[in-house]
Chain A
Amino acid sequence: MMILSGDRPRSRILSVLLLVIVVALAVTPFVFPGAKAMNVATKICIFAALVASYDLLLGYTGTVSFAHTMFFGIGSYAVAIALYAIGPSWGAVAAGLAIGLPLAALLALGIGLFSLRVEAIFFAMITLAVASAFLVLASQLSWLTGGEDGRSFTLPELLRPGTVFIPKNVLGTAITGRTLTYYIVLVGSAAMILGLLRVVNSPFGRVLQAIRENRFRAEALGFRTVFHLTYANCLAAVVAASAGALNALWLRYTGPDTTLSFAIMLDILLMVVIGGMGTIYGAVVGAAVFILAENYLQSLMGAASTAAADAGLPLLPGLLHPDRWLLWLGLLFIASVYFFPTGIVGRLREMARPQAEG
């Protein structure tokens, strides 16, 4: 259990759920080889890491930040601009990472030192303002960022879809540069999540939990809480920027809508709440549930609506019409927050607790 930092799922159902998600993601290129399935699986990997890094802030320190997409965007733009400017090489990817990750950490350090010593609401407002300014900046500096159109770029040869490693039929699928990119995303995201699990289960993680519960009490024990909060903010920013870099590699494009928009920030918030705050595992479950619902609910409802119409049931075909998928998605989220106030992971652990103690 060293790989999980001693922090086990603590629920048999959760263990099975996580195992299903991990195995499904690992075999996606061979078992679900279509473009949509691959995109969904990649998005789950990237958002699981991104949401886990947000959980470090919200779940473990109680800090609400609206700048997380900004750090995601910094990583994404850094790799995109480097590949666009230098050309498709691994050196360009490395240059993008070497600029993007420290830049994200520095910005997080600045925001943290400036605003984490005061009220939490002030930090939230500062992050909102900085993220808004960054979004405007990314749109305005079109010579650098491509403006509203964003930046498309070419990947190093090994990662291109046209690069074929094994031409035919590993379980009916050719292994290409796209497959390699997918596994880079999968392994990179898994490494980030496992790293975060290690952080939250370290003595540093315990101090963060203590600060979340009562900051003054933690200070009275001798902990410099501003230092701890700022360090957590920097760590979360670096992980978010790394997830952004993976996102750029997968999409071969970076623009304001794919990285910096507030819609993405809302999605992150929903995923962390649905999965369960302060667990890290919740990020994996929340990202999987949210992204699967976002992508497959409409077609599921179409099938259910047709089946209901064929069975001659009243009302249901209309209610389940695929055009109403957003309404049902909203209701699903309200229901999940109502029935699982501690998130799916929190609820599953609560259910498992009496069995463990009994």
Chain B
Amino acid sequence: MTDLLTLTNVHTHIGRYHILHGVDFAIPEHQTTMLLGRNGAGKTTTLRTIMGLWAASSGQITLAGQRIEAMATPDIARLGIGYVPESMAVFSDLTVKENLVLAARDGPLDDNRLEWIFGFFPALKRFWLSRAGGLSGGQKQMLSIARAIVEPRKLLLIDEPTKGLAPAIIGALIECFAEIKRSGVTILLVEQNFHVAQRIGDAVLVMDNGRIVHRGAMAALAEDTLLQERLLGLSLEAHQ
């Protein structure tokens, strides 16, 4: 199995703060890799650094063999990366339709793909011409994810998609991610909810203080409660 994305000794500074301290990992193609860690561990910074939204101070980031750490964000996105930021990031003044049209850079919306998306998120079809700002939190998150997959992408970076959502909506998202993975897309997903993470992930990376402190199979971590407590300071019960 080849690696689609590789980070080698990546350091990131935000102002005078040193956030990422030599992050190293590789994301295998067609797999879902979970990036876990406590608040402030550097998970969001890692995704933003991959996207070029914060420049890496040093180190290498490679996507399908191409160095991207010095590239501008739009150029990185055009290589086939879909990014779903945290906090239900939609364009609230635009309609649902306009949000999706905007994300389909390469031309008109593909009707078949749209129907595929409506299959996971029927609410988007219902509110097609409504302003995105008027949607509920869950619907905004659905739109944010739909925007990232409205065109085929090589890699999806998804930041805490289940944060603050109701269990029914989380269930729909889990099904959606499974279906996206089946379509051959590689996913790097930041998640705080371990229960969700173990249902979605093939592989897992755990971060602490801006470093990767554990890497391995998700199934192995899910079975090892002692390891979970040591790495994440959690018990499964607290996250169910």
A220 engages B91 (CB within 8 Å)? no
Measured between beta carbons, the chain A residues less than 8 angstroms from B53 are: 216, 219-220
Q: Is the CB of A213 within 8 A of B83?
A: no
Report A57-87 residues with CB < 8 Å from chain B CB: none
Pair A223/B74 contact, Cβ less than 8 Å: yes
The A-contacting residues of B in range 71-102, CB under 8 angstroms, are: 72-74, 77-78, 83, 85, 89, 91-94, 98, 101-102
A189-223 residues with Cβ-Cβ distance < 8 A to B are 203, 206-207, 209-210, 212-214, 216-217, 219-223
Which residues of chain B are near A217, meaning CB under 8 Å? 85, 89, 91
Query: Sorted from nearest, which 10 A-B pairs have the closest CB atoms?
Result: A222-B77, A219-B73, A220-B83, A222-B78, A224-B74, A210-B91, A222-B74, A213-B91, A219-B74, A222-B105
CA distance A220 to B74 in the complex (A): 6
B74 to chain A: which residues have CB within 8 Å? 219, 222-225
How many residues from A make CB contacts under 8 Å with B? Answer: 18
Name B's A-contacting residues (CB within 8 A): 51, 53, 72-74, 77-78, 83, 85, 89, 91-94, 98, 101-103, 105, 147
Most B Cβ at <10 Å: residue of A203, A219, A221, A224:
A221
Assuming the A-B contacts A206-B94, A209-B93, A213-B93, are A219 and B77 also in contact, with contact meaning beta carbons closer than 8 angstroms in the complex?
A: yes
A residues less than 8 Å from B51 (CB atoms): 220
A214-272 CB contacts (< 8 Å) to partner B: 214, 216-217, 219-225
A224 to B77, CA, bound (A): 10
Q: Which of these, A214, A219, A278, contacts B91 with CB under 8 Å?
A: A214
Q: In the assembled complex, how far is the CB of residue A36 from the closest CB belonging to chain B, in whole angstroms?
A: 40
Q: A213-B92, A221-B147 are in contact. Are A206 and B101 (CB under 8 A)?
A: yes
Identify the closest chain A residue to B130 (Cβ).
Answer: A357
When the two chains form the complex, which single residue of A209, A213, A221 contacts B103, counting CB atoms closer than 8 Å? A221
CB proximity of B190 to chain A, nearest CB, Å: 15
B102 touches which of A219, A221, A224, A225 (Cβ 8 Å) = A221
Bound-state CA distance A214–B73 (Å) is 14
CA distance A310 to B51 in the complex (A): 73
Inter-chain contacts of B72 with A (CB < 8 A): 219, 224
Q: How far apart sit A220 and B105, CA to CA, in the bound complex (Å)?
A: 12
Q: How far is the CA of A216 from the CA of B73 in the complex (A)?
A: 8
Please name the residue on chain B nearest to A227 by beta carbon. B74
Q: Are A207 and B73 in contact (CB under 8 A)?
A: no
Select A206's contact among B73, B77, B85, B102, beta carbons within 8 Å.
B102
- C-alpha gap A100/B103 in the complex (Å): 37
User: How far, in Å, is A284 (CB) from chain B's closest CB?
Assistant: 21
- For this complex, 27 residue pairs linking A to B, each with C-beta atoms less than 8 Å apart, are A206-B101, A209-B91, A209-B93, A210-B102, A213-B91, A214-B91, A216-B53, A216-B73, A217-B85, A217-B89, A217-B91, A219-B53, A219-B72, A219-B73, A219-B74, A220-B53, A220-B77, A220-B83, A220-B85, A221-B102, A221-B103, A221-B105, A222-B78, A222-B105, A223-B74, A224-B74, A225-B74
Min distance, Cβ A97 to any Cβ of chain B, angstroms: 35
Chain B residues whose CB sits within 8 angstroms of the CB of A203 once the complex forms? 101-102
Give the residue among A222, A224, A278 with the most B Cβ atoms within 10 A.
A222
Task: Report Cα–Cα, A219/B76, bound state, in Å.
Answer: 9
Query: B78 — which chain A residues lie within 8 A by C-beta?
Result: 222
Instruction: Give the Cβ gap from A109 to chain B, nearest Cβ, in Å.
Output: 19
Report the Cα distance A206→B105, complex, angstroms: 12
Bound Cα distance from A221 to B103, whole angstroms: 6
Task: Specify which chain A residues have a CB less than 8 angstroms from the CB of B105 in the assembled complex.
Answer: 221-223
Chain A residues lying within 8 Å of B93, measured Cβ to Cβ, are 209, 212-213, 278
On chain B, the residues within 8 Å of A209 by CB distance are: 91, 93-94
Q: CB-nearest residue of chain B relative to A213?
A: B91
Set of chain B residues within 8 Å of A212, measured between Cβ atoms: 93
Known: A216-B73, A219-B73, A222-B77. A206 touches B89 (CB 8 A): no
Report which residue of A203, A219, A220 has the largest number of chain B beta carbons within 10 angstroms of its beta carbon: A220
Q: Are B77 and A221 in contact (CB under 8 A)?
A: yes
Enumerate chain B residues within 8 angstroms of A210, measured Cβ to Cβ: 91, 94, 102
Would you give the shortest CB distance from A227 to chain B, in whole angstroms?
Answer: 9
User: Which residue, of A203, A209, A210, has the highest number of chain B Cβ atoms within 10 A?
Assistant: A210
Complex Cα distance, B72 from A225, in Å, reads 11
Hey, which chain B residues are within 8 Å of A278, CB to CB? 93
In the assembly, what is the distance between CA of A76 and CA of B159, in Å?
52
> For residue B98, which residues in chain A have a CB less than 8 angstroms away from its CB?
206
| Bound CA–CA A207/B102 (angstroms) | 7
Q: A219: which B residues are within 8 A, CB to CB?
A: 53, 72-74, 77
Q: How far is the CB of A55 from chain B (nearest CB, A)?
A: 15
B147 CB contacts on chain A under 8 angstroms: 221
CA distance A224 to B98 in the complex (A): 18
A199 to chain B, nearest CB (A): 15
A163-207, CB < 8 A from B: 203, 206-207
**Complex CA–CA separation, A206 to B93 (angstroms):** 10
Residues in B neighbouring A214, C-beta threshold 8 A: 89, 91
Cα separation A142 to B60 with both chains bound (whole Å): 58
A contact residues around B103 at 8 Å (CB)? 221
6 other A-B residue contacts (CB within 8 Å) besides A207-B102, A224-B72: A209-B91, A216-B73, A219-B53, A220-B51, A220-B85, A222-B105
